[in-house]
Amino acid sequence: MPIRSEVSWVGLIGLFLSSRLLAQSPATDAIDFDSLRQEAAVRLSEYLRINTSNPPGNELASARWLKEVLAREGVEGQILDTTELGPGRANFYARLKGSGKGKAIALVHHMDVVPADPKFWKEDPFGGAVKDGAVWGRGALDMKGQGIIQLMAFIALKRAGVPLTRDVVLIANADEEATSLGAQVFIQRHRDLIRDVGFLLTESDQTRVEQGKVRWFGIDVGEKRSYWQRLTVRGVGSHGSQPTPYNPVPRLARIIARIAAWETPLHLTPAVERYFKAQAQERTGRARIWLADPAAALRTREGRAWLLSEPERNALLRNTISPTVLVGSDKINSIPSQPQSISTSVCFRTRIPRRSGRSCYGSSPTPVPDSPSSRVACRPSIARRSTPKWCGRSSERLVACCRALPSRRRSIPAAPIDRTMRTRASPATAWRRIWSTMPNRTESITG
């Protein structure tokens, strides 16, 4: 994460500490946010040095580090679920007690990161180096950086002795980058620890920082979900020196090319339209006009081309399809056959239908294009790996409370607070799925 984004770190910490959801006290005025910002950068470097690539995870090392950091602040943390999650893995939990007037707030992040190959990095992905105005490391954005924001807010509240109107809970989960097993195990085994939680804040990447200036603080009101499928093509095996028409490799290649090239229908949902209009405030010229009225822009060739030219906007305007994993013969001179096969994993990103059958954000999962040309002589089979789930409802109350801050403290850059959208799922996905089964719950899970 670039150090220039520390402007957003301290702003987000200040925004959280100032929120009426949390405390009503001038005690937060005593917090030295400049010092807190520098300390946050140091803590992030330390956190990034813990290699929690998943697989295998190694989140236990991160949980121990979090426990040690909080212990120096006089806060007791708990390392949980080491047996259930397996060797080297764990969840983490800590709590600051409040008066109990309001339901607790949970700050949730995941400790694992996706693997990183050092040869493709300018710096060691697990070195936590501070260089050229940036903190370098795998997980700085997803999502150890936000975990540090939560940790420093937690610590700042403790140091300042802020009289809390509600408890603040800090949770760090394992395995978000794979199956979200950490969140599932935590909720299933520790409902007593979160029974009083009314708000859960987790991953979001929509706070925009450009050239050292915070353009806006984003609170996610929706996210797309993955819909994974595996397509397998079988053929007749033979030696690679004797090509046949029944080699499944080129057949699958043609199917992949067809799927990847397919342009799904465009659909401007109300949430995306509001998001684009919020961005228009920071633009000039034709970009401002097109974002201010995206529906009109999509009806023109130039406006449509501009909106779709940026990957995030394109993904927010349609269901997307991305072939990701390709598996074939394990022998360079062998054409695979039954029981061998070649397969590809296809990741659909879609706006998810509600339980009632109506769409949460205006669109249903997109089917694989089905035509004779995609089926000729290839005998494909599709195995569903995951099913879209209801996406839930984010807290509009959170947006309202953040917008209604009594004053802009010096720690908070003067930037608007807007509803944003994500092109992918967050840890809220796993929490929301099980949250709905808890008694006396609220629908206030948001990124």
Rounded mean pLDDT, 376-392: 41
- 3-class SS at 303? helix
With the C-alpha atoms ordered 160, 33, 67, 93, is the resulting torsion angle positive or negative?
positive
Contacts of 205 (CB under 8 A, 6+ apart): 141, 142, 422
What dihedral angle (degrees, nearest 10) is formed by the CA atoms of 428, 433, 435, 438? 180
Higher-pLDDT residue of 130 and 305 is 305
Mean pLDDT rounded to a whole number for the chain: 79
Say what the pLDDT of residue 384 is: 44
Confidence of residue 90 (pLDDT cuts 50, 70, 90): very high
pLDDT in tens, 43-79: 999 999 999 999 999 999 999 999 999 999 999 999 9
Identify the H or E element spanning 320: strand 320-327
**Residue 148 and residue 1 in contact, taking contact as beta carbons nearer than 8 Å:** no
pLDDT in tens, 347-374: 766 654 333 333 333 444 444 444 333 3
Rounded mean pLDDT, 325-329: 82
Q: What is the DSSP pairing of strand 334-335 with strand 134-135?
A: unpaired
Instruction: Report d(CA 302, CA 284) in Å as an integer.
Output: 16
DSSP-derived secondary structure letter, 64: H
Higher-pLDDT residue of 7 and 122 is 122
- Could you give the angle at which helices 428-435 and 181-189 cross, rounded to 10 degrees? 30
For residue 68, the Cα-to-chain-centroid distance in whole angstroms is: 26
Check whether 5 has a pLDDT greater than 80.
no
Look up the pTM and report it.
0.79
For residue 150, the Cα-to-chain-centroid distance in whole angstroms is: 15
Confidence of residue 150 (pLDDT cuts 50, 70, 90): very high
Could you tell me what percentage of the chain is helix, strand and coil, using 3-state DSSP and rounding each to the nearest 5?
Answer: 35, 20, 40
Higher-pLDDT residue of 13 and 149 is 149
Domains of the chain, start order: 3-203+426-446 (3.40.630.10), 223-384 (3.30.70.360)
